[in-house]
Amino acid sequence: MKRVYQTNFGKSGNCFQACVASVLELELVQVPDFVNDSKTEWFSNLRDWLKNYNLGVVNVDFTELSISDITQISSGFCIAQGQKPNRDNVKHAVVMNNVCLSHDPLPDGEGLEIVEQVMFFIPFNPVSGL
């Protein structure tokens, strides 16, 4: 994991773009700003783009998971989305490793107060092409 920080803030912030770049150890400019480029199709655009890296993605509502579920699903990095401690009604994304905050793309970020969703990257099997 490489710490990449967001460059845009507020409702047009690019925290998610920075999180994807961090997990994949890419530069920010190498990752599309999926959320701001297409508010309705961003997840399918992300899914298609990740195929270039032999990865799939699963987004799960955190209310459906327990802490032990997360540690069983992934022993690596994932992206959590939810509310920042200041509760300004702007969704935020951070990188987690298991259930611990690993990186907040806000330069002086505090992580999330409320986790609403967790996104896991799933490697495709390179042998079978699945």
Asked if residue 128 is part of any domain, the answer here is no
d(CA 77, CA 57): 12
Q: What is the pTM of this model?
A: 0.87
Which of 19-28, 44-53, 85-94 shows the lowest mean pLDDT across its residues?
Answer: 85-94
Domain that holds residue 76: 10-123
Asked if residue 45 is part of any domain, the answer here is yes
Output the average pLDDT for the chain: 86
Residue 103: Cβ-neighbour burial (10 angstroms; 0-12, 13-18, 19+): buried
Asked if residue 70 is part of any domain, the answer here is yes
Asked if residue 129 is part of any domain, the answer here is no
pLDDT tens-digit map of 82-122: 988 876 778 899 999 877 899 999 998 888 888 888 898 98
Asked if residue 2 is part of any domain, the answer here is no
Asked if residue 54 is part of any domain, the answer here is yes
Instruction: State both tokens at 107.
Output: 């330069």
Instruction: State both tokens at 72.
Output: 């069983």
Residue, of 41 and 66, whose pLDDT is higher: 41
Number of domains composing the chain: 1
d(CA 93, CA 68): 21
